[in-house]
């Protein structure tokens, strides 16, 4: 099996974040080939389409197709942005790519910028990530010094400037248009779409945005070919993907495995469950994706299609494992708090609804639940879904509604007995 | 109002953005001012706005929207402990209670000697190291009560960045 072979391939090398180490492992060879041969921009987009790579930030939009939307022959600057805001609970992969292999991200962005004709770019890194910020800034400085960024890169006609823009604490800035607002120095409030970023993005200019892992996959796709990457996974689910396995497993970690890997193999890689525990549920793609029952998950493979068949979504590949030692109501209350806290407040259904969901969850958890509360949660959820500017609100509804469907009796027990069915053990 | 060093740093950030887009440097300028001054007063925000040539209201909006800005004084060490779900599943509540216990304060408070402020925050993107916390610029992962004690002791002894 092709494990940790693409975006995490250099993680084990000493000083893997340094330019010299990256170049010694073949780094920037693809960029040189592309610029010096040169390879036509359309050819790169064709390979990206062939690869089946889908955006690793959560929405899973085909990357090659997205790149082809960038208009040609416009006046003014086109921008390329990298989304490194990584903030959805359970998601912790981009941090490792930036810490261990920042040059792979930079090379991926350079190839993308060349293919789309972008002249400048920003890597938007969440403000708390001080160590990754320092490492990426240092890598950018190395790349500038080596003539890999700036004017006339490698002596060619291609020029591209790239900077870090540091966030300041707001999950919503991971939403692509909020991120653009934030780079413009404003509150991170999502914009209405359309217009889409390819026509009206940063500073109103054509803009493409991708996730860290998406960009870090690009150099190998271009050097080894789109077909190679596609075949690592399965049709419509090309390549390998990092799964961040957290929660109740013995070896939490980032595991990069082929799309289509059985969940039970991934669980085994992460050290399996703790002794004497049973798998209760899994949140397969980060807290915005619906929860899946443990036994269903054990028969599912890790790819977009299979997980969507299991009633959830692959999201950012943030696999949160929940065993039978924990109370589901308390767990979901904690998740609901996140969405209440992070709503940007623009849309009434989200601003009010996220608070509602949390307050009702909170009172059930604290033994003050009422008979009608479960229906209330479902009704509030139904009134939010699809009625907001961005997907944060739907993401906040998903864990509540899915957990009521799967663990209704646990909720009912809480309401009737004013206490929990599960005595919380150690985690 | 700000140190030479802070002003130089703000100038470097300003240079990342197009000529006519000074406001883009606002997030960075506020952060740098906060690092320089400890927290953001109205006077500091007005000064930043003047420096960038933007309306002061823009600075207030940003300073209140993002969670990393402090509009009130905080302790010398701001402890931000994660309570989101992956950390919760690994018993972060117990770590939070232990911190409250050791510091003699509740979440949201500052110790009387001004050394520590304790905050519970949402996911810091290091969930595989759960339970975890951030103190200053640094992440501390795979926390146990013993490890927390060690970190607090080192911070009390005057370290700013302790392993
Ligand atoms: C509330 C919200 C938060 C998001 N946070 C992130 C994030 O932290 N990182 C990320 O890459 N994408 C995030 N996204 C998805 C982005 O909007 C966007 O789809 C993505 O950056 C596109 O890159 P990709 O196609 O490479 O995935 C978020 C979306 C929403 C609605
Ligand atoms: S859905 Fe929520 S987070 Fe998204 S724009 Fe509306 S209020 Fe803001
Ligand atoms: S849940 Fe604590 S760091 Fe992500």
pLDDT band at residue A235 under the 50/70/90 scheme: confident
Residue A427 pLDDT > 70: no
Residue A97 has, within 13 A of its CA and on its CB side, a CA count of 34
| Average pLDDT over every residue of A86-95 | 98
Among A89, A96, A100, the residue to mutate for chain B (most B Cβ within 10 A): A89
Say if residue A47's pLDDT is above 70.
yes
> Are the Cβ atoms of A184 and B24 closer than 8 angstroms?
yes
| Whole-angstrom distance, CA of residue A383 vs CA of residue B111 | 44
Peptide bond before residue A38 is cis, with ω within 30 degrees of 0? yes
Tell me the average pLDDT across B135-151: 97
CB contact under 8 A, A185 and B86: no
Dihedral sign of CA atoms A338, A341, A343, A347 in order: positive
Do the beta carbons of residue A51 and residue A108 sit within 8 Å? no
Mutate to test the pocket of ligand 2, among A288, A389, A394 (most ligand atoms within 8 A of CB): A389
Whole-model pTM? 0.98
Residues 6+ apart with CB under 8 A from A203: A77, A79, A184, B18, B21
Q: How many CB pairs under 8 A join A and B?
A: 145
Nearest-ligand number for the alpha carbon of A177: 1
* Bridging pattern class, strands A120-125 and A79-84: parallel
Reported as a pLDDT band with limits 50, 70 and 90, residue B158 is: confident
CA of A406 to the centre of ligand 1 (A): 27
The pLDDT value recorded for residue A406 is 98
A139 lines ligand 2 (CB under 6 A): no
Pocket probe for ligand 1: among A63, A191, A211, A342, the residue whose CB has the most ligand atoms within 8 Å is A211
Local structure of A125: helix, strand or coil: strand
Q: How far is CA A190 from the centre of its chain?
A: 17
The average pLDDT across B35-45 equals: 97
Which ligand is the nearest neighbour of the Cα of A315? 1
| CA angle, A413 then A415 then A420, to 5° | 50
Name the band, by pLDDT with cuts 50, 70 and 90, for residue A423: low
Q: What's residue A23's pLDDT?
A: 98
Task: Determine whether the shortest distance from the Cβ of A172 to ligand 2 is under 6 A.
Answer: yes
Contact status of B58 with chain A (Cβ, < 8 Å): yes
CA of A105 to the centre of ligand 2 (A): 29
Q: Is the CB of A85 under 6 A from ligand 1?
A: yes
Find the Cα–Cα–Cα–Cα dihedral A9, A15, A20, A24, rounded to 10°: -40
Residue A386 Cβ contacting ligand 2 at under 6 Å? no
Alpha carbons A417 and A371: distance in angstroms, whole number: 11
Whether pLDDT at B59 is above 50: yes
Q: Which residue, B99, B98, B45, is CA-closest to B77?
A: B99
Identify which of A174, A180, A392 to mutate to test ligand 2's pocket (most ligand atoms within 8 A of the CB). A392
Q: Which residue of A has its CA nearest to B135?
A: A128
Residues 125-154 of B with CB under 8 A from A: 125-130, 134, 137-139
Tokens of A39: 């390879």
Given a cut of 60, is residue B30 above it in pLDDT?
Answer: yes
B130 lines ligand 3 (CB under 6 A): yes
Residue A1: per-residue pLDDT: 76
Find where tokens 């490698």 sit. A154
Q: Say yes or no: ipTM exceeds 0.95.
A: yes
Q: What is the dihedral of CA B54, B57, B60, B64, to 10 degrees?
A: -120
Neighbours of B27 (CB within 10 A): 29
Using CA atoms, how far apart are residues A253 and A261, in angstroms rounded to an integer? Answer: 16
Two structure tokens written together for A370: 């009422």
User: In angstroms, what separates the C-alpha of A308 from chain B's closest C-alpha?
Assistant: 22
Task: Please say if the pLDDT value at position A51 is more than 60.
Answer: yes
Rounded to an integer, the average pLDDT of A293-312 is: 98
* Secondary structure of A277-309 as H, E, C letters: CCEEEEECCCCCCCCEEHHHHCCCEECHHHHHH
CB contacts, 8 Å: B88 with chain A: 331, 334
Whether the per-residue pLDDT at A424 is higher than 70: the answer is no
CA distance A170 to chain B (A): 6
| Interface contact flag, B91 A426, Cβ < 8 Å | yes
Query: A342 C-alpha to center of ligand 2: Å?
Result: 9
- pLDDT at B161 exceeding the cut of 70: no
Is the distance from the beta carbon of residue A69 to the nearest atom of ligand 1 less than 6 Å? no
Cβ contacts (< 8 Å) between A169 and chain B: which residues?
A: 66-69
Give the nearest partner residue to B21 out of A168, A203, A248, using CB atoms: A203
* Residues A216, A6: Cα–Cα separation, whole Å: 8
- The more confidently predicted of residues A420 and A289 is A289
- Residue written as token pair 């413009």: A184
Q: Which ligand is nearest to the CA of B83?
A: 3
Q: In the prediction, which pLDDT does A342 show?
A: 98
What does the pLDDT average to over A399-406?
A: 98
Q: CA–CA separation, A155 vs A159, rounded Å?
A: 9
Tokens at A414, concatenated = 């809480």
Ligand nearest to the CA of A342: 2
Calpha distance A390→B37 (Å, rounded): 36
Looking at residue A426, what is its pLDDT? 38
Ligand 1 atom 7: residue of nearest CA:
A174
- Is there a contact between B68 and A246 if contact means CB atoms under 8 Å apart? no
- What separation in Å is there between the alpha carbon of A188 and the centre of ligand 2? 10
Query: In chain B, what residues touch A185 (CB-CB under 8 Å)?
Result: 21-27, 54, 58, 62
CB A233 less than 6 A from any atom of ligand 2:
no
Q: Tell me which residue has tokens 């509009």.
A: B71
Say how many C-beta atoms besides its own lie within 10 A of residue B33's C-beta. Answer: 28
Within 10 angstroms of residue B74's Cβ, the number of other Cβ atoms is 17
Rounded distance from Cα B93 to ligand 3 centre (Å): 12
Kindly state the tokens that stand for A88: 């959805």
Nearest to A248 among B16, B24, B89 (CB): B89
What would the pLDDT profile of A184-232 be if each residue is shown by its tens digit?
Answer: 999 999 999 999 999 999 999 999 999 999 999 999 999 999 999 999 9
Residue percentage of chain B with pLDDT more than 70: 98
């Amino acid at each position: 099996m092709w494990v940790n072979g693409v975006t995490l391939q250099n993680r084990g090398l000493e000083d893997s974040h340094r330019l010299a180490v990256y170049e010694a492992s073949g780094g920037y060879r693809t960029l040189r080939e592309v610029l010096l041969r040169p390879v036509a921009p359309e050819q790169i987009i064709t390979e990206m389409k062939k690869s089946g790579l889908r955006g690793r930030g959560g929405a899973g939009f085909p990357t090659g197709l997205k790149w082809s939307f960038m208009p040609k022959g416009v006046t003014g600057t086109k921008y390329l942005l990298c989304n490194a805001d990584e903030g959805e609970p359970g998601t912790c992969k981009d941090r490792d790519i930036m810490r261990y292999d920042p040059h792979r991200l930079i090379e991926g962005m350079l190839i993308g910028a060349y293919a789309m004709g972008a002249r400048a770019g920003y890597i938007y890194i969440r403000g708390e990530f001080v160590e990754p910020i320092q490492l990426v800034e240092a890598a950018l400085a190395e790349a500038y010094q080596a003539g890999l960024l700036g004017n006339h890169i490698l002596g060619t006609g291609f020029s591209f400037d790239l900077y870090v823009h540091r966030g300041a604490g707001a999950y919503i800035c991971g939403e692509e248009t909020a991120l653009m607002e934030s780079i413009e120095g404003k509150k991170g409030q999502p914009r209405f779409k359309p217009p889409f970023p390819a026509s009206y993005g940063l500073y109103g200019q054509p803009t493409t945005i991708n996730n860290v892992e998406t960009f870090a996959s690009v150099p190998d796709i271009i050097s080894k070919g789109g077909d190679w990457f596609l075949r690592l996974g399965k049709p419509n689910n090309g390549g390998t993907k990092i799964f961040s396995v957290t929660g109740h497993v013995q070896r939490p970690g980032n595991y990069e495995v082929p799309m289509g890997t059985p969940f039970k193999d991934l669980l085994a890689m992460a050290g399996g469950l703790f002794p004497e525990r049973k798998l209760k549920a899994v949140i397969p793609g980060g807290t915005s994706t619906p929860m899946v029952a443990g036994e269903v998950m054990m028969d599912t493979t890790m790819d977009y299609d299979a997980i969507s068949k299991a009633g959830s979504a692959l999201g950012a590949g943030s696999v949160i494992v929940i065993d039978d030692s924990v109370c589901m109501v308390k767990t979901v209350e904690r998740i609901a708090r996140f969405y209440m806290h992070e709503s940007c407040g623009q849309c009434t259904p989200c601003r009010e609804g996220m608070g509602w969901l949390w307050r009702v969850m909170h009172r059930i958890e604290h033994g003050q639940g009422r008979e009608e509360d479960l229906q209330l949660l479902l009704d509030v959820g139904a009134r939010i879904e699809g009625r907001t500017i961005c997907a944060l609100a739907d993401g906040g509804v998903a864990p509540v509604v899915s957990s009521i469907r799967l663990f209704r009796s646990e909720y009912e027990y809480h309401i009737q007995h004013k206490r929990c069915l599960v005595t919380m053990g150690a985690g | 109002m700000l140190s030479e060093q802070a002003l130089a740093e703000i100038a470097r950030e300003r240079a990342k953005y197009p000529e006519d887009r000074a406001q883009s440097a606002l997030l960075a300028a506020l952060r740098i001012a906060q690092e320089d001054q400890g927290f953001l007063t109205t006077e500091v925000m007005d000064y930043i706005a003047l420096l960038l040539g933007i309306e002061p209201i823009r600075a207030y909006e940003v300073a209140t929207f993002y969670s990393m800005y402090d509009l009130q004084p905080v302790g010398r060490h701001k402890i931000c402990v994660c309570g989101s779900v992956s950390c919760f599943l690994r018993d972060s509540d117990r770590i939070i209670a232990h911190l409250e216990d050791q510091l003699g304060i509740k979440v949201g408070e500052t110790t009387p000697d001004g050394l520590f402020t304790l905050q519970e925050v949402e996911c810091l993107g290091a969930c595989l190291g759960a339970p975890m916390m951030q103190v200053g610029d640094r992440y501390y992962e795979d926390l146990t009560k013993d490890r927390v004690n060690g970190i607090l002791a080192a911070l009390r002894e005057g370290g700013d960045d302790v392993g």
